[in-house]
Amino acid sequence: MSNLKEIVNNATTSIVDVRTVMEFQSGHIPGAINIPLDEIQNKLEEFKQLPKPIVVYCRSGARSGMAMSILKQSGIHEVYNGGGLADMQFLLN
């Protein structure tokens, strides 16, 4: 898979929203799971069990960038920064 749009639209891709629970509840990508950025370090095993690739997103792309770095440093390499919620909505259309 060469580009992010193909990855996001692949049925086997795991989409993870790294915003807070409150932000997630106010609207999210259908099928996304919510693992807030501050919980990622404690949920590495959960990430390792998720189908790959993994696309992380947040509100602007900053937290998802941090999440991607944490995951890659932890040995999960097939992870992509989907940017913000609006970016993801654009990619899904």
**For position 9, which CATH number holds?**
3.40.250.10
For every residue of 28-70, DSSP letters joined together read --TT-EE--GGGGGGGHHHHHHSPSSEEEEESSSHHHHHHHHH
Q: Is 1 assigned a catalytic role?
A: no
Taking only the tens place, the pLDDT of each residue in 68-77 is: 999 999 999 9
Q: Which of 18, 32, 56, 58 is catalytic?
A: 58
Overall domain count for the chain: 1
pLDDT, tens only, 8-31: 999 999 999 999 999 999 999 999
pLDDT 10s digits, 32-91: 999 999 999 999 999 999 999 999 999 999 999 999 999 999 999 999 999 999 999 999
Domain with 51 in it: 4-91
60 torsion bin: left (phi>0), alpha (psi -120 to 50), beta (else): alpha
What is the SS3 assignment for 23?
helix
